[in-house]
Structure 1
Amino acid sequence: MKTASPALTALINSGKFERADVYTIALKGGLTLRYADHDQPLTFGAETWTLGPLLKRSRTELSVGIEVDEMEVTFTPTDFSLINGKPFAAFVSGGGFSGARLTVQRAYTPPGWGDVVGLVHVFSGRVSDAGLGGGTVRVVVRSDAELLDAMVPANVYQPGCLNGLYDDACGISRAAHQAAASVTGAQAPSRSFFSTSLPQAAGHFSMGTLTFTSGPNAGVSRTVKQHLAGGALRMIAPLPITPGAGDAFTIAPGCDGTRATCGGRYFNLNRFRGTPLIPVAETIT
């Protein structure tokens, strides 16, 4: 059931109103984007939805029961559509919408686009897919019922640890193991391979996560495929833009889920949730 304030109810019942959709995108890093599907900014309370990329969304269908609802939103960026100083499409292609939450509301005003009287919730969910094509950015948003699509039972017997590194079950502090460094000019960099000032031994940051804090890739994160001798890093997926000498980043080591890494690197065996001594499956013929 959708709810509305008495003032909004009275406006809608009068039959004389204007309406437009407003989009709120909460990014994983803490930044919140607000765009209005209109030709002027809209304000309600302390929040303002500005003019951004052109927006178009699919129709929504809400079902009774446990069913995953879905909405597709298409963004057509303009030359002025920037996020953290980067073009909208480049930010999205660099994983900027990964883990984001999008909420669509409908704003109602008196005729002539006066002050917004109220908002009605239309849809909210998690961004599950984002792709580029034909000058547009297509984002698929799925309702929270998707979180129920989990394996039952949740725990299985396997050699590797069931925890995710740095999650609540693991208990390891990312900040305690994170390092800060920068790209160096020791060799010509590419979008997936570059030298750094990291002093740690080769392999320390393999399968870890790197996030740029300055330069053209600021805010972009990538998984490290290899940490080589001398501090060189190879990414699993290429960066949007080739980094330059002096570009700063933070990096945290990864974990292969083995008992040896849990105890030898993180001293966290009391939280290890793997079963490395489980017997190997045998087939009787």
Structure 2
Amino acid sequence: MKECSEALKTFLHTATVFYKCDLYEITLTSGTVLRYADYDMPITLSDGRFFSCEGPIFSRGKTKLTAKIEVDSVDVSVYAEQAEQINGMSWQQAARNGLFDNANLTLYKCFMSSPGVVVGALEWFCGYVDVGGGGGLEQEWIIKSYMQLLNVDYPTGKYYPTCPYTLYSAKCGLVRANWTTTGTITQVLSKQEIYTNLTFTDGYYDLGGAEFTGGDLSGESMSIKNSHAANGHIVFIVALDSLPAVGDTIAIYPGCARTPAACESKFNNKTHNCSTPYIPLKETITK
């Protein structure tokens, strides 16, 4: 339902001639509010909100009104010159930096008795901005209705045979720094395999990760495929960009199979494990 003032209702019922334009109110996630009028003069509403006629040019597709609960969207094209700035950058640069992502855009339809003399404005559409693309001076925005946020699976909780939480995440509860050990490379077998001075049991670092803290590869990280106790043998999931050197230092942390047994025996963290290994698998019965 569109809220309309009594003055605007009376005007629309009685006026034989009127003027109208679109007003765009953009609220960025930072709280900054931008207001523009698709008109050749600025528009000021009765509540004092000022919509500039200078700046980017907006054009939009059609909207649809229905009494049913339907998810709608509006395509909006934005044309902005390089000289037009927002937060010290051009609109094109702002879009590349994600400034408009998930911003709120409210479209108003403004009615006037004569050019610039506002009788009232109707909120026509409201949604969040999804920057679909662009090129040159043009940006293509898709304004998606907030009802799209209701399009989620319910219940939100899922049942998996292994724990759905990412290792070292907030829901997992483990802090990676507490499980990280620093070691030194003692022999380089290939770009994918090294020996270290670390002592551990077979498989302890499987599915874990390593970050080089010294040498030419300093700062590079790599996931671990296998780990073997003999000689502190580490096998990376893929080959490194270049060969490390003997004496390079690495920070290494273990991975988790995300089963209740692994969570309990390896990390003593079973209370945070959310796996459901005994949920029956889907079965199809034919007859």
Q: By the TM > 0.5 criterion, same fold?
A: yes
1:213-244 residue CA offsets vs partner (Å, 9 max, x unmatched)? xxxxxxxxxxxxx997599699xxxxxxxxxx
> In structure 1, what is the Cα distance between the partners aligned to 2:65 and 2:165?
38
Verify the 8 A CA contact 1:104 1:123 in the aligned structure 2: yes
Verify the 8 A CA contact 1:92 1:130 in the aligned structure 2: no
1:103-122 residue CA offsets vs partner (Å, 9 max, x unmatched)? 100112221322x2211111
The residue type equivalent to 1:2 in the other structure is K
> In structure 2, what is the Cα distance between the partners aligned to 1:130 and 1:229?
39
Verify the 8 A CA contact 1:97 1:127 in the aligned structure 2: yes
> In structure 2, what is the Cα distance between the partners aligned to 1:54 and 1:92?
15
Residues 112-131 of structure 1 mapped to structure 2, 5 A cutoff: 112-114=115-117, 116-131=118-133
Shift of 1:276: 4.2
> In structure 1, what is the Cα distance between the partners aligned to 2:96 and 2:150?
28
> In structure 1, what is the Cα distance between the partners aligned to 2:89 and 2:219?
26
Cα distance change, pair 3–153 in 1 and its aligned pair in 2 (3 A): closer
Aligned residue pairs, count: 197
- The yes-or-no answer on 1:17 pairing with 2:21 is no
The residue type equivalent to 1:125 in the other structure is G
Verify the 8 A CA contact 1:23 1:35 in the aligned structure 2: yes
> In structure 1, what is the Cα distance between the partners aligned to 2:11 and 2:212?
65
Verify the 8 A CA contact 1:102 1:125 in the aligned structure 2: yes
Residues 54-133 of structure 1 mapped to structure 2, 5 A cutoff: 54-114=57-117, 116-133=118-135
> In structure 2, what is the Cα distance between the partners aligned to 1:27 and 1:269?
42
Shift of 1:34: 1.0
5+ residue gaps in structure 2? 174-179, 182-209, 222-255, 260-268
Shift of 1:74: 0.2
> In structure 1, what is the Cα distance between the partners aligned to 2:3 and 2:25?
19
Q: 2:7 corresponds to which residue? A: 7
Verify the 8 A CA contact 1:93 1:132 in the aligned structure 2: no
Shift of 1:94: 1.3
Cα distance change, pair 282–118 in 1 and its aligned pair in 2 (3 A): closer
Shift of 1:277: 6.7
The residue type equivalent to 1:31 in the other structure is T
Cα distance change, pair 41–269 in 1 and its aligned pair in 2 (3 A): farther
The residue type equivalent to 1:147 in the other structure is L
Q: Secondary structure at the match of 2:114?
A: coil
Verify the 8 A CA contact 2:159 2:279 in the aligned structure 1: no
Q: TM-score scaled to structure 2, two decimals?
A: 0.57
- The yes-or-no answer on 1:160 pairing with 2:159 is no
Q: 1:46 aligns with which of 48, 64, 67?
A: 48
Q: TM-score scaled to structure 1, two decimals?
A: 0.57
Shift of 1:71: 0.3
> In structure 1, what is the Cα distance between the partners aligned to 2:82 and 2:59?
18
Residues 1-285 of structure 1 mapped to structure 2, 5 A cutoff: 1-12=1-12, 13-44=14-45, 45-50=47-52, 51-114=54-117, 116-158=118-160, 159-161=163-165, 229=213, 275-276=274-275, 278=277
Q: Secondary structure at the match of 2:149?
A: helix
Verify the 8 A CA contact 1:62 1:69 in the aligned structure 2: no
Verify the 8 A CA contact 2:127 2:144 in the aligned structure 1: yes
Q: 1:245 corresponds to which residue? A: none
> In structure 2, what is the Cα distance between the partners aligned to 1:269 and 1:41?
63
What RMSD over aligned residues (CA atoms) do the two structures have, in Å?
3.8
Verify the 8 A CA contact 2:81 2:137 in the aligned structure 1: no
> In structure 2, what is the Cα distance between the partners aligned to 1:282 and 1:14?
67
> In structure 1, what is the Cα distance between the partners aligned to 2:219 and 2:57?
41
Verify the 8 A CA contact 2:165 2:274 in the aligned structure 1: yes
Verify the 8 A CA contact 1:132 1:138 in the aligned structure 2: yes
